[in-house]
Amino acid sequence: MKNSYIMPVIIFCIIFGFVHGCDQSTSVDSEMLDVPDPTEIITIPGQAFALGTNPDGSLLVSETFEGLIEIRKSTTDHIAALQNINGIATVGNDIQYVITGDPFIPEQQETGRKLYRITPENTQEIADFWAFEQSVNPDRVWSTLPPESNPYGIEQLNDDTFLVADAAGNSVLVVDESGAIDWVAVLTPQPASTENFKHLIGCVENDQRPPCQMPEEIPAEPVPTGLAIGPDGGYYVGELVGFPEELGIARIWRIEPGSRQVLCPGESCTLVADGFTAIMDMAFGPDGTLYVVEFDAAGWFALQDVGGFPLTPIEGGRVKACNVGTGECVVIADELNLPTGITVGKDGTIWIAENEGIDVAPNPNMTASIRAVK
């Protein structure tokens, strides 16, 4: 976000796997997979952001300051020392594409806001989203603010092409193996009530402080974070929603496959569901259900404003199961500790990442957990 206040059926299944909603009848025998025990909670030091699943069923998790970690039935290995990974796309058991976000600390500046290809041999830079944002700045169609980029969600379209949700750029991008980038869609602001923000900072009647004198509504940036490709081939993108963060107004959009340079809402970008607060990640299950992670029911601004960093839970996060055909969603897990990532395993297990806290620098006192919710 740019406000200073702060991603034929059989062929489809082969290409995209269960995470994109292929029918359960195509599921793989879990005994043949290298899947961690779903009855156990996996704990790692630090803070976890993105999750992914390798074709063999092993899990991938990014720790903000240490890099990419691979979790198998009996082993946990550190496979890439790349900081601030926000999203993971797996191409093979030994090939991953990851995106790095807006740097937390100076040491991340050189590697931030880029697409990387990770193999056992090396980690190779593929594309520079910050350079693209500075040159093109897609949301200039409505925003007068300077360019800003924070790549957050990534999904594989085909062998050498990926979709990326740029949270700070309010855009969905497409990037290929050569590093060429184009914009698929720009999400536009919506009116948001300032009541929650004023309550958080303690505004009272006739309070003359400038923030307390804001209008009842101001435009809120959409801040796209969650990204998933549906069983219908549509591009689904979820919003965090920026300042002043009215609770319960985040939305999920469906972008027509193959779209380029469209606006949401628009003819090629339609509303799927609304009523969310601070969407962090999304993933399709084997039956076409879309699982949506919400950071905390109190909203991201409350966490930052009330306690500062490290962020700690207030009301707790949630996972919702959504029918993208009807827009109906139900809560399947709640009171979660700062959930940030979700992935659906090759055996249909739904994994999430939770955090004791989220900090802007390494914190030896914090741990993250990866566990199954269904």
Residue 35: pLDDT band with limits 50, 70, 90: confident
A 10 A CB-CB count for 11 gives 8
CA 252, chain centre distance (Å): 12
pLDDT at 359: 93
Structure tokens at 135: 């040159």
Q: Is the pLDDT of residue 26 over 60?
A: no
In a domain, 4, yes or no: no
Question: Rounded to 10 degrees, what is the CA torsion of 121, 123, 124, 130?
Answer: 180
Q: Is the pLDDT of residue 9 over 90?
A: no
In a domain, 125, yes or no: yes
Q: Which of 44-53, 102-111, 237-246, 280-289 has the lowest mean pLDDT?
A: 102-111
SS3 87: strand
Task: Note down the domain range covering 361.
Answer: 9-372
Q: Which residues contact 354 (CB under 8 A, 6 or more apart)?
A: 48, 317, 336, 337, 338, 339, 340, 368, 369, 370, 371
Q: Is the pLDDT of residue 27 over 70?
A: no
In a domain, 3, yes or no: no
Residue 30: pLDDT band with limits 50, 70, 90: low
Decide: 49 and 353 in contact? Cβ < 8 Å: yes
A 10 A CB-CB count for 177 gives 14
Q: How many CA atoms lie within 13 A of 112 on its CB side?
A: 17
pLDDT at 308: 78
Q: Is the pLDDT of residue 13 over 50?
A: no
The helix (H) or strand (E) run that includes residue 320 is strand 317-322
3-class SS shares of the chain: helix, strand, coil, % to 5: 15, 40, 45
Q: What span, in angstroms and rounded, lies between the C-alpha atoms of 255 and 253?
A: 6
In a domain, 1, yes or no: no
The total of structural domains in the chain comes to: 1
A 10 A CB-CB count for 273 gives 22
In a domain, 2, yes or no: no
Q: Could you report the per-residue pLDDT of 170-203, keeping only the tens digit for each?
A: 999 999 999 999 999 999 999 999 999 999 999 9
Residue 12: pLDDT band with limits 50, 70, 90: very low
pLDDT at 154: 98
Q: Got the DSSP string for 220-285?
A: E---EEEEEE-TTS-EEEEE---TT--TT-EEEEEEPTT--SEEESBTTEEEEEEEESSEEEEEE-
Which CATH number do you get for residue 172? Answer: 2.120.10.30
In a domain, 319, yes or no: yes
Question: Considering Cα of 140, then 143, then 148, then 153, what sign does the dihedral take?
Answer: negative
